[in-house]
Amino acid sequence: MDTRTILLERLAAVRDRMERACLRAGREPADVTLIAVTKSVTPDVAAIVAELGIAAMGESRPQELWKKAAALPSVNWHLIGHLQRNKIERTMPLVTLMHSVDSERVLDALSEFGQKQRKPVPVLLEVNCSREAAKGGFAPEALPALGDKLLSLPGISLCGLMTMAAYSNDPEDARPTFTELRQLRDDLRRRTGLELPHLSMGMSGDYEVGIEEGATFVRVGSTLFENLP
């Protein structure tokens, strides 16, 4: 089979699983966006995915996002990895939503950029719910204290939270992580009065659990792209 046919079948399978997860959770399929994570493929493969109707794509490295966004400017690009402050100016104009704000320093720098542009930057805060030392993001315990600060940053439009579950072969292992992210969002919403509509949670191994727990974005890479010809 050629690459296009394989991708067509894989996308249909992922969409089907997403829909069934929505049904189980009593949610509308239209409320969950599939982000195809293209970090392991060339712009040519990403172009096929765009032709097959995927409007949202994610990259974890800014330089790779620059390259793919230049090749595919009509895609909605999501940054899902660490952003150094010196790459904000070049990266953020290309980005629909920044999922992975992982420190107050980056938050402050993004706010400054948003103010300069006179357009608040839409962001999610990355939270290290799985509490792995190797992972970035805010500690869950740090979020309550951030509440007041979030309201005082004029260049930021805070849209919600993002997390990554610990790697596991059993998707159920991810559930407590995703439940916690949703509860943290609900807390922060009460504390700040912000709407915080988005939860970015769920990857190839656990996106259905993410949807059952309230994800509005799932970030799927390897299930779509592994072992292409």
Ligand X SMILES: *Cc1c(COP(=O)(O)O)cnc(C)c1O
Cβ-based nearer residue to ligand X, 153 or 174? 174
Nearer to ligand X by C-beta: 107 or 153?
Answer: 107
Specify the DSSP element, H or E, that contains 122. Answer: strand 121-126
- Residue reference for tokens 């966006």: 33
Q: Which of 7, 80, 106, 211 binds ligand X (CB under 6 A)?
A: 80
- Grouping H, G, I as helix, E, B as strand and the rest as coil, residue 212 is helix
Residues near 154 by Cβ (< 8 Å), separated by ≥ 6?
111, 114, 115, 120
| Residue 59 to residues 8, 54, 101, 103, Cα–Cα distance (Å) | 21, 14, 14, 19
- Binding to ligand X in span 96-125, by CB under 6 A: none
The stretch near ligand X (CB under 6 A) out of 66-74, 140-148, 171-179, 221-229 is 221-229
Is 130 one of the binding residues for ligand X (CB under 6 A)?
no
The 8 Å CB, 24+ separation contacts for 12-18 are: 14/207, 14/220, 14/223, 14/224, 17/207, 17/208, 18/207, 18/208, 18/211, 18/218
Going by C-beta distance under 8 Å and a sequence separation of 6 or more, which residues neighbour residue 142?
none
In the window 154-173, what residues touch ligand X (CB under 6 A)?
164
**Minimum CB distance to ligand X smaller for 114 or for 221:** 221
- Token output for 211: 């949807």
For residue 179, state whether it binds ligand X (rule: CB under 6 A): no
Instruction: Find the part of the chain contacting ligand X (CB under 6 A) among 11-19, 67-75, 152-160, 216-224.
Output: 216-224
Q: Shortest gap between Cβ of 205 and ligand X (angstroms)?
A: 6
Q: Which stretch binds ligand X (CB under 6 A): 117-125, 173-181, 188-196, 202-210?
A: 202-210
**Is residue 10 near ligand X by the rule CB under 6 A?**
no
Q: Judged by CB under 6 A, does residue 65 bind ligand X? A: no
Q: Applying CB under 6 A, which residues contact ligand X?
A: 37, 39, 60, 80-81, 164, 203-205, 219-223
